[in-house]
Structure 1
Amino acid sequence: MNEWYRLNEEKAEWIIYVTDVGQQQHFDMVFKAAKRAGWLPQGDNSYPKASHVGFGLVLGEDGKRFRTRNTEVVRLVDLLDEARSRSKAALIERGKGEEWTEEEIESTADAVGYGAVKYADLKNNRLTNYTFNFDQMLNDKGNTAVYLLYAHARICSIIRRSGKDVDELMNKGTLVLEHKDERDLGLHLLQFAEVVEEACTNLLPNVLCDYLYNLSEVFSKFYSNPECKVIGSDNETSRLLLCEVTAVVMRKCFNLLGITAIYKI
């Protein structure tokens, strides 16, 4: 009856049920019954439609279902609190406690800690099991939210250090992608729309995570190349625009993944 209500009263176009993969058969039977009752159309690609999104198990480092030492199920709120606490400690250890206000420390710890937990879950193919590890999740190197958030903040720092008004550059400047690393970055940015479509169509957020991580790596290759110097180069305007577009696309990815961007580190 819940499905009937969502279809007929709430006028839902696409109902997505998110549970563990063990319930796949149950939902297949429910969807078939709904089609026979005339609640759903017979075609798989017709609207309205209903889908089941299955996900694997979160495992501890012992390879078993993730639980506390007392064999209790770990609450999400406890994981988030722990991640936030560790992120705040790492910021203070980096000396940010002396440079930043308490409000900046708290808001950055929120963004990094909560984002790390979300990204650690979403970057895996949802059908597979994965091992939960705080140290790996909060590492500022590799395919983690911490690395990506810091990468975004560095791009923002480049733009600030240039002293240029990005809005003005976007109105008057032009992109000139002469170097191979510039073109590689530009081509990767152009793939954003099709990646989002693929992730939504197949209900696989890890596709977007892969794109975001690869974008960061492609940008790093571009920026670290001495031939692609940004500030003070003859192509400064074009390369600053390329930096800005990269930051904008990264923020779009963060937003779709439910992660809050940070702007300085």
Structure 2
Amino acid sequence: MYLLGDLLHFDYLFYLNHCRYRINEEKAEWIIYLTDVGQQQHFDMLFKAAKRAGWLPADDGSYPKATHVGFGLVLGEDGKRFRTRSTEVVRLVDLLDEAKNRSKTALLERDTAKEWPEEEVEKTSQAIGYGAVKYADLKNNKQTNYTFNFDQMLNDKGNTAVYLLYAHARICSIIRKSGKDIEEVKRNAKIALDHEDERALGLHLIQFSEVIEEACTNLLPNVLCEYLYNLSEIFTKKFYSNCQVVGSPEESSRLLLCEATATVMRKCFHLLGIVPVYKI
């Protein structure tokens, strides 16, 4: 699979040769061209030419295949293309640095984080800040324009990476507070879904593989984002609120549910390019 960035102009000869080389020389099974939606017609013509040349099969469902993935625009709060005040294109590195700095400021407002080593503060701030920018971009349908807003993406409530990372850290905290070796619990205990909110969580967890297949087949990372957000909501607002874990008769079973939820969340984070945090 090959991903290409945005194009300032379309060079048909270059991309025909690129398509031929990837398929005939490198034996690529699926080539994915990632550009803005405005290039869609160019790639439609490119793929038709590749089919006539015999490089791609006539059937779009067969391999090898080539796909164009178009993405929408990132807008400023004025509804126009996101730029600096001097009308220059905003550099990604500047956005990431700003997100990290804002995350660090918010993190240091927490009493617990004030006692952390500087290295841990920096590492956690980077994970939250970078994750917030990535998630804000991926949670939308790829062809939809969206407004870039730091306050929204760094909010610890709602469908944001910050909320998801905090939820993951909360799960890890529950497991630590139990004082039990989770690996030993895995070997000796079983999950029982007697409470309705345990069942709701369990049912959502087992949908993970189906969601991955859908997201990959249709090239829709927002499907995975939606699943991850719903998982966090079910855990936080149902399971965590109504099912005591530590000190309950069902502690071992519920610890396993916590571990399963955290594991699936980490898989989602990995696929989205987000680094999980284990304490806040």
TM-score interval (norm. to shorter): over 0.9
2:48 is matched with 32
Give unmatched runs, 5+ long, in structure 1. none
* Structure 2 CA distance for partners of 1:78 and 1:248, relative to 1, 3 Å: same
| 1:172 matches 2:188 | yes
Match of 1:253 in 2: 268
Give a deviation string over 1:170-228, Cα, whole Å, max 9, x none.
Answer: 11110100011000000000000000100011101000000000000000111111xx2
Distance of 2:129 and 2:48 partners within structure 1 = 42
Deviations 1:207-264 (A, max 9, x none): 0000000000000111111xx2111111111000000000000000000000000000
The answer (yes or no) to whether the contact 1:208–1:253 under 8 Å persists in 2 is: yes
The aligned counterpart of 1:51 is 67
Query: Identity across aligned pairs (percent)?
Result: 78
Alignment match, 1:181: 197
- What is the rounded CA distance, in whole Å, between the counterparts of 1:144 and 1:128 in structure 2? 17
The counterpart of 2:166, out of the listed 150, 153, 162, is 150
* Equivalent residue letter for 1:170: K
Deviation at 1:93, TM superposition (A): 1.8
Q: 2:10 maps to what in 1? A: none
Q: Tell me whether 1:86 sits opposite 2:102 in the alignment.
A: yes
Name the SS for the 1:69 alignment partner: coil
Shift of 1:96: 4.4
Between the aligned partners of 1:45 and 1:85, the Cα distance in structure 2 is 46
Where in structure 2 are the equivalents of 1:183-202 lying within 5 Å?
A: 183-202=199-218
Q: Quote the residue 1:111 is aligned against.
A: 127
Deviations 1:102-148 (A, max 9, x none): 11101001100000000000000011100000000100110000010
CA RMSD of aligned residues (A): 0.7
Distance 1:200 1:97 in 2: 37
Q: TM-score, normalised by structure 2?
A: 0.93
- In structure 2, the residue matched to 1:7 is 23
Contact 1:140 / 1:147 at 8 angstroms: preserved in 2?
A: yes
Deviates more, 1:117-126 or 1:93-102: 93-102
CA distance in 1, matches of 2:263, 2:227: 14
8 A contact 1:96–1:105 mirrored in 2: no
* Secondary structure at the counterpart of residue 34 of structure 1: helix
The one-letter code of the counterpart of 2:269 is: F
Which residue pairs with 1:241 in the alignment?
Answer: 256
Q: Using the alignment, how far apart are the partners of 1:117 and 1:104 within structure 2?
A: 20
| 1:97, distance to aligned residue in structure 2 (A) | 4.7
Q: How many residues align?
A: 263
2:88 alignment counterpart: 72
Alignment partner for residue 163 of structure 1, among 161, 176, 179? 179
Give the TM-score of the pair, scaled to structure 1: 0.98
Q: Does 1:224 align with 2:241?
A: yes
Secondary structure of the equivalent of 1:15? strand
| Secondary structure of 1:143's aligned partner | coil
* Secondary structure at the counterpart of residue 279 of structure 2: coil
Unaligned regions of 5+ residues in structure 2, if any?
A: 1-16
Distance in structure 2 (CA, Å) of the matches to 1:41 and 1:53: 19
- Work out whether 1:126 is the aligned partner of 2:142: yes
Alignment pair present for 1:215 and 2:231: yes
Query: Which residue identity does 2:267 align to in structure 1?
Result: K
For 1:108 and 1:138, the matched residues in 2 are separated by 14
> How far did residue 85 of structure 1 move?
0.7
Which stretches of structure 1, 4 residues or more, deviate above 2 A after TM superposition? Answer: 95-98
- Structure 2 counterpart SS, 1:238: helix
* 2:214 equivalent to 1:203: no
1:95: Cα distance to partner?
3.0
Displacement of 1:92: 1.2
